[in-house]
Amino acid sequence: MSTTRSAPTVPRPAAPEEALFTLPEAFRLDGARALVTGASRGIGRACAETLAAAGCDLVLSARTTGALAATLDAVEGMGRKAVGLAADLGERGAAADLAERAAHALGGLDVLVHNAGTLPTAADATPVVAPFHTSDQAQWETVLSVNLNATAELCRAAHPHLAASPRAALVLMSSVAGLIGTPMMEAYAASKAAQVSLGRSLAVAWARQGIRVNVLCPGWIRTDMTGFAADAAPVSDWLMSHVPMGRWGEPADVARAALFLASAASSYMTGHALVLDGGLSVPDGGLAGIPKPPSPFTAP
């Protein structure tokens, strides 16, 4: 006598939309202690508010604590602890001191999102975008000091605190400028490329200590720093013509990616450079099949 058995039922994998609703805990950071640098505005503020919404207590840093008022209010309004610390990362020792003060204020560190960075600036604080051969060494050294040297100093000082955490995640804010040719922004691009390299090296060095290290590489994001381009129609139109998605990114786009890298949703990811650029850096992506207006940087 034979029996016929039906094939076992194989669970259907959840669609991405379903997974987002059935696994929200993967993106939660309840009780985590986080430091966000450059948190007064733009991407830094968006990252701080997103981490707070996910359950983090936060230390927020900027050059002055007064500049942090709105971000501090937003974080506290979500019921999370918020501490503002002033730090001029262009000064030697400031980044290391910040890491120690942040760990003391929170009783340790689980997450570090290092967002602070700079472009060469004029006396009125507007960004200077100019041909490399007309730039000066002082501008180069200022950018490298803030964007690279302070990054190394901060990571070194944060290491023992992150190593003591069971959920350590370090997110460095680089830029797509560090992955492609970026004329007239060479100092910025070089410093951001170095951040990618540093992040990958630390990811390997610190993996067995339970510290995940990843890098975010945003493209053209609408912030105060990019206002010189976003607010000038000819320049903005020309830049967006090279972005296949055809739009500026928003700080929230980057903040959500930072949350992913800081949370258990990316628990098997380290040493990665995650690009958010609307397709700008895809080989030929910004050149194929999309009409381009004349460059506003070309003399008539």
- Give catalytic residues, as residue numbers: 188
Q: Which helix (H) or strand (E) holds 188?
A: helix 186-206
Nearest to 54 by CA among 262, 254, 213, 215: 262
Please tell me what DSSP assigns to residue 67.
G
SS3 label, residue 211: coil
Q: Alpha carbon of 163 to those of 13, 37, 102, 199, 210: distances in Å? A: 35, 20, 15, 16, 7
Tokens describing residue 220: 């053209």
Nearest to 60 by CA among 73, 199, 23, 22: 73
Where do the DSSP E strands lie in 88-210?
A: 111-114, 169-173
Tokens describing residue 230: 């976003």
**What whole-number distance in Å separates Cα of residue 75 and Cα of residue 282?**
36
- CA-based Rg of the chain, rounded to a whole angstrom? 21
Phi and psi at 118, nearest 5°, equal -150, 155
